[in-house]
Amino acid sequence: QKEVEQDPGPLSVPEGAIVSLNCTYSNSAFQYFMWYRQYSRKGPELLMYTYSSGNKEDGRFTAQVDKSSKYISLFIRDSQPSDSATYLCAPNNDMRFGAGTRLTVKP
């Protein structure tokens, strides 16, 4: 079993939709959970991070961690075409990343 599992998509939604991106991980010792966003032909950039379980909100983005089920989620409300990118989860204790989910938001 891979340490980080993420559905690579691709995922296509209409503008204004709520998007849910998810990852599972296997190491119960992970404490920090990062989401990176990568635009086409660019390097990834940190979008959000959470520590331990719970939710964290930043504008239209919400990161959620459920340590009991080893499940992390990123929700995007009122999605915009500018959100079109690949989103990578990273339980960052181990420097490993999920495969990344490629999201397209259509106008």
Question: What is the greatest pairwise CA distance in the chain?
Answer: 41
Q: Is residue 18 a contact residue for other proteins (CB under 8 A)?
A: no
User: Which helix (H) or strand (E) is 89 found in, with range?
Assistant: strand 85-91
34-63 footprint of other proteins as x/- string (CB under 8 A): x-x----xxxxxx--x--------------
The residue assigned the tokens 């990176």 is 36
Chosen residue from 32, 60, 67, 73 binding other proteins by CB under 8 A? 32
The residue assigned the tokens 């998509």 is 9
Q: Is residue 87 a contact residue for other proteins (CB under 8 A)?
A: no
Compute and round to an integer the Cα radius of gyration of the chain: 13
Where on the chain is the footprint of other proteins (CB under 8 A)?
6, 8, 31-32, 34, 36, 41-46, 49, 88, 90, 92-100
